[in-house]
Amino acid sequence: MLLELRAFQFMDESWGVIDIAGGVENLVTAGPALAASDAAVVCVSADPAAGVLAAPYLRMVEEAGIPAFLFINRMDQAAGRVADIVAALQTYCRHNIVLRQIPMRAGGEVIGAVDLISERAWKYQEGQPSALVAFPDSIHARERQARGEMLEALADYDDDLLEQLIEDRKPLTEAVYDVATRVLQHNDLIPALLGSALHRNGILRLMKSLRHEAPAVEVAAQRLAADEQPLAVGCIGDLVKHLGKTVVVRALSQPVGAGAQVGGGNLGAMTQLRGQSAVEKIGAGAPATGRAAGNGRNSSQACSGDLAPGDIAQVVKSDHLSLGYAYLENRAAQLPQWAQPRPSSYQRIVTPVHDRDDVRLTTALERIAEIDTGMQIEQDEISGHALLHLQGPLHLRRILTLLNESFGIDVGDEPVPPALRETITRPVTIHHRHRKQSGGAGQFADVVLSIAPATRGSGFHFTDEVKGGAVPRGYIPSVEAGAREALKTGANGHPVVDVQVTLMDGKHHSVDSSDYAFRTAGKSAVREALAEAGSVVLQPIMRVEIHVPSVFTGGLVPVVSGMQGQILGFAAHPEAAGWDVFETLLPVAVQDQLCSSLASATRGTAWFSSGFDHYEEARRTSSAAGGGR
């Protein structure tokens, strides 16, 4: 599952965890989930080299301003120092990351953890809560150093604690917990805990920290809208057979129930998932393997009353609800920018394998778009088929699978052909006479046209230099219209751009001349000129902005060069720590290749946005020169 909500009981309290798989293409699901959550837990691998994989999610968590924990997972496989892991993660985080635990080792393996606030040691037990054990003598020095660093970090936000440290007085444990709670809820720093979810190690410590320190649901409501308190927010959308679209919503500022006016419509039937304290769990660096925190969606019941603030329910028969919005009583307010999808520059044309599914495919895609904010649909102007804007190849694969499994539609896909153009290479002057007799009124128009290359990117220009009324003024627009029509298809089959057409001379007949005759003459004259003026194919060049972790920036240079791109430069991102913004010009024909090459060169952490910049002559080696539209 890409995203799943797990509702469960912990210490006689209802909890909900929105579990999201790692990977930059899954960022689109994190926005609404973060908006509905009280806190985030970013699961990272216990490998410093994998720290960069958490970078996209650390960036999003910071943009959201949501309190967050780091859970350093798979500690049973850790070979290096935890300090190195934190240092690797700190590169991509403006907030100070503070270790709240240090590992206990035996024979080089991690067997437990020491809590730096309570100063108690816990030994991991397979599939069970950790056992409280005596403090190993070998760890005292490391514990004192790590605890001192943690206290100094917390003291930056509490004067009393700072005073105790200056006076070399040991602070009370409860007082330190209070400071840690306040600092987390104010989103001042990010605490890091240790464990191995696969073996259920460290999960209890994590849950207790969340229970005591995560803020109340009112804080989530204020984070979305300080002036208007939203009633609820949609965090998960799904298409369920026999039920249609369902939306998992979380009540925020006041009770809501079935039939209540929310988002400009009435809520349908609800199934309560018994989740109240909502935490988003993000897998980064490795798939999130911790299943100990919940038991899927088994913990649910028909909702017989109102949802209290913080409660979560699955709603059916509420087609007016969509993801990406917070719901007030009479309208839906778009979620903040951090919760919106990243630019979707991966484009594919999709067509049904069977013609009978053509109409069904359009309806199915519209339904999917209601629960997938990362997909936009438009109609391809050339083929008339659906054109999808997606987050990447994996996103496309999920859409095709959903179409097949939920709607029974087999679909093929293909890249969008580049919108090629052509232009001429030399000026030509053409004299063309259009004459036709058909028994009645005839047709007569005589024109002398000059066609010449214009400045690249200037488009089409038409002027006239006719003197003495050789071509009456009323017919000149018809000549221009004919010229424009002829330029729709050039010698290579593409629209012709960047030309200057000049009407130099001509003749007319007082009876047989007409708008139609001069339009036909202008069209024929330009077509003759195009055949003699020489032509070159032009390919569209896109201006591409790549957001990339700084460690990978240098590796993009050969990637871009290999795709005949022009590097414009790169600079540190003004707000995101450890990120660069890399700008380049690339032929649009390589945009598909850019997706795969970027994923390979950056371990799937970078993304890009693009927009048309200009046309330039297609190189013979370019795939763009072989076809297009």
Q: Which residue has the higher pLDDT, 347 or 278?
A: 347
Whole-angstrom distance, CA of residue 395 vs CA of residue 520: 50
pLDDT classification of 294: cutoffs 50, 70, 90: very low
Angle between helices 55-64 and 27-36 (to 10 degrees): 30
Centre a 10 Å sphere on the Cβ of residue 569 and count the other Cβ atoms it contains.
8
* Average pLDDT of the residues of the chain: 88
Among 617, 597, 611, 591, CA closest to 552 = 597
* Residue 22 and residue 285 in contact, taking contact as beta carbons nearer than 8 Å: yes
Please report the DSSP string for 81-114 in residue order. -HHHHHHHHHTT-SSEEEESEEEEEETTEEEEEE
**Confidence check: pLDDT of 10 > 80:** yes
Q: Which residue has the higher pLDDT, 304 or 199?
A: 199
Among 439, 447, 438, 437, CA closest to 482 = 447
3-state secondary structure 24-88: HHHHHHHHHHHHHCCEEEEEEECCHHHHHHHHHHHHHHHHHCCCEEEEEECHHHCCCCHHHHHHH
H or E segment to which residue 401 belongs: helix 393-407
Q: Using the Cα atoms of residue 533, residue 536, residue 537 and residue 543 in order, give the sign of their dihedral.
A: negative
Burial 292-305 (b: 16+ CB within 10 A, else e): bbbeebebbeebee
Could you identify the residue written with the tokens 């005073």? 163
Angle between helices 173-185 and 203-213 (to 10 degrees): 70
pLDDT classification of 289: cutoffs 50, 70, 90: very low
**Confidence check: pLDDT of 302 > 60:** no
> pLDDT digit string (tens) for 481-534?
999 999 999 999 999 999 999 999 999 998 899 999 999 999 999 999 999 999
Give the DSSP letter of residue 269. Answer: -
In the prediction, which pLDDT does 106 show? 87
Burial tier of 571 (Cβ tally within 10 Å: 0-12, 13-18, 19+): exposed
> pLDDT digit string (tens) for 360-373?
999 999 989 888 88
Question: Worst-scoring range by mean pLDDT, 65-79, 175-189, 541-555?
Answer: 65-79
Burial 183-206 (b: 16+ CB within 10 A, else e): bbbebbbbbbbbbbbebbbbbbbb
Whole-angstrom distance, CA of residue 556 vs CA of residue 558: 6
Query: In whole angstroms, what separates CA 414 from the centre of its chain?
Result: 21
Q: What is the mean pLDDT of residues 89-94?
A: 95
pLDDT classification of 308: cutoffs 50, 70, 90: confident
Q: What is the mean pLDDT of residues 588-599?
A: 90
Express as a percent the part of the chain with pLDDT over 90.
Answer: 59
Could you identify the residue written with the tokens 């604690």? 161
Q: What is the mean pLDDT of residues 122-142?
A: 89
Q: What is the mean pLDDT of residues 275-298?
A: 47
**Confidence check: pLDDT of 627 > 60:** no
Please give the backbone phi and psi of residue 507, each rounded to the nearest 5 degrees, phi first: -145, 160
Give the DSSP letter of residue 329. Answer: S
Max Cα–Cα distance, the chain, nearest Å: 115
Alpha helices in 116-216 (DSSP H): 140-155, 159-166, 173-185, 203-213
